[in-house]
Structure 1
Amino acid sequence: MTERNPKDSSQERVYRAIEALVAGEDEAIDLARAALLIASIEYPDLDMAHYMAQLDALARRVYDVLALPDPSTLPQLPADIATLDVIKTINQVLFVEEQFHGNHDDYYNSNNSLFNKVLDEHTGIPITLSLLYMEVAKRVGIRIEGIGLPFHFVVRCRLPDKIVYIDSFHQGRLLSEEECREMVRHIARTRLKVHSHWFEPVRHKQLLIRILNNLKKVYTDNEDYIHALTICDLLVLIAPQTITERRDRGVIHLQLKHYAPALHDLTAYVEQAPGAKDRYDMLNYIKAVRQIIAMMN
């Protein structure tokens, strides 16, 4: 089991639950459940069943508009239902009837990355609204894949004759690959060289890592180091091979004056990343921590 720091019993249960979710095949990870577990760090009284039932209800609404039986009694969509019609119906339910939308006015609010609050407030950022779309579509019976473009997250669906991209942050607008390229250039405000790997589906673990990194940035920018530390713990769990996560956790420990854990993480970082550009800075941190620990003894 991955090394981690002592937590209260509720946090420990969350940690163990996420550890179990990500232990198997990537495609088998229940993204909605994992995202809600992450959210329960800030909202420990979160009712998981309540939010999972909301997703089921949204899927039933899509079936109702399509005049189909309840999805629990219809294991898959009828062959004569066009996938594009299903996408347009999901858009109608989510973005017209329920008015889910991108939070342009308060983009860096942590609630935009917490799936329970996205479902409560009907607003979020591209990745959490894309997750919502993927989860509703899964329950309806169509396969939607996450696409982690630079600066923006969208989803895509393979139709018989083409691939369509769906921008959940902008009310489910449908895009071609070229329109996605233009959108990225517009956001970047420069003529970026577009790489084909941008359009490769994001693995489930990578999607969770992206949500966690968003939260880590929000918490650290707000100097909320207690929540940032728990997010760092989860990142080390899910991405143990990414040594920079140990560095970041070590720095957070230092901010919280957890000197022994800070020393442990920062030492691991400099040992495993001997060519890192910030190696000198981290060695200075390590020297300072050792001096503090020596004075405390």
Structure 2
Amino acid sequence: MSAATRERLARMLADGPIDLAEANLLICAEAGDGLDMASELAHVEGLAQLAREGGVVPVLRDQGFTGATEDYDDPDHSRLDRLLATRRGMPITLATLALAVAARVGAPMAGIGMPGHFIVADTGGAEPVYIDPFGGWRRLDLADCAALVERTSGLPFQPAFLDPVPPRAILARTLLNLRGSYLRRRRLDAALWTVEVGMIVAPDDAELVVGSVVLLTGAGRYEEAEAAATAFLAARPGDPAASAIEAQLQTLGDLRRRMN
């Protein structure tokens, strides 16, 4: 992702409206695969054209977009460009595509960020209709939603889990998924860019600063880590995350002393 691309994402987030397809593709550009933004957006527009006649869910289902049940944790499954290419993705990636297509055709649809499993809701009727893109685009009743939450997260169901979430929160959760996937593969440089972009999406999230300092340290970029930690402590000395940042600064100091 170039500085210009990051600036485009920041400008969209600041000024709105947020196009989930474009925002996700701007994140995907960070992976360095030479993504063709115009071509990818044209693909989404093509799906929207079909959905104007056939409906969002029927079109995406009939086009073969489905859950990636094998290699579920592969980072590619959190990327919209890869979903468009393979038609297989994570729950939140499939939901992102559905929401992006729905927005283009004026269909009322909301993202539902349940713990452990992201779904969408058709909000065009008197009551929302919950749909699981990952699970074959099937409709869910409240009992189904509760079972999904308990199976995927181990948490007891709460009605608040069905509250719609805004686009910015969807992007933040996508980046969190990517970061976890990269860290489990010890791809520290890739995990670092998810943190850096995450700070564009959620600038007030102190845990992202902690993550950036830790990852910069792990990558041997000690001066950058120290600069980020020092700047955070100067700007937000009373933040609850300050103690973790101070501990990381101590670690940095120990590493520098060993080097000398």
Q: Find 2:11's aligned residue among 13, 17, 20.
A: 20
- CA positional deviation for 1:272: 4.2
TM (norm. structure 2) is 0.90
Q: Which residue of 2 aligns with 1:81?
A: none
Larger Rg: 1
Q: Which one of 145, 159, 164 corresponds to residue 124 of structure 2? A: 159
Q: TM-score, normalised by structure 1?
A: 0.79
Distance verdict in 2 for CA 1:273–1:209, change over 3 Å: farther
Question: Over aligned residue pairs, what C-alpha RMSD do you find?
Answer: 2.3
**Residues 155 and 105 (structure 1 numbering): CA distance in 2 closer, same or farther, change over 3 Å?**
same
Q: Does 1:174 align with 2:163?
A: no
The aligned counterpart of 2:41 is 52
Q: Does 1:201 align with 2:164?
A: yes
Structure 1 partner of 2:60: 94
Look up the equivalent residue of 2:215 and give its one-letter code. Answer: I
Hey, what does 1:235 align to over in structure 2? 198
Match of 1:286, SS state, is helix
Match of 1:35 in 2: 24
Counterparts of 1:63 and 1:18, CA distance in 2:
28
The amino acid across from 1:31 in the alignment is L
Count matched residues.
Answer: 258
Q: How far did 1:222 drift?
A: 1.3
Q: Which secondary structure does the structure 2 equivalent of 1:39 belong to? A: helix
Q: Measured at CA, do residues 274 and 144 of structure 1 come closer, stay the same or move farther in structure 2, by a change above 3 Å?
A: closer
1:199-239, Cα deviation, whole Å (9 max, x unpaired): 11111111100011111111122121222111111112221
Q: Which whole-Å CA distance do the structure 2 matches of 1:187 and 1:221 have between them?
A: 19
Give the stretch that moved more between structures: 115-124 or 236-245: 236-245
Distance, in Å, in 2 between the alignment partners of 1:150 and 1:55 is 27
CA displacement 1:273-295 (0-9 Å, x = unmatched): 6655x94x654432231244456
What SS class does the counterpart of residue 164 from structure 2 fall into?
coil
Please report how far the alpha carbon of residue 101 of structure 1 lies from its aligned counterpart in structure 2 after TM superposition: 0.8
Cα deviation digits, residues 24-50 of structure 1 (max 9, x gap): 24xx11111110011011144211111
Q: CA deviation at 1:91?
A: 2.9
* C-alpha distance in structure 1 between counterparts of 2:239 and 2:25, whole Å: 37
Correspondent of 2:92 among 106, 121, 127: 127
Contact kept in structure 2, 1:118 and 1:124, CA below 8 Å: yes
Identity in percent: 28
Aligned partner (choices 221, 225, 229) of residue 188 of structure 2: 225
Structure-1 separation of matches of 2:44 and 2:110: 17
Give, in whole Å, the separation in 2 of the partners of 1:292 and 1:101.
Answer: 47
Structure number having the greater helix percentage = 2
User: 2-side partners of 1:215 and 1:99: how far apart?
Assistant: 23
Residue in structure 1 matched with residue 110 of structure 2 by the alignment: 145
SS in structure 2 of the partner of residue 41 of structure 1? helix
Gaps in structure 2 of 5+ consecutive residues: none
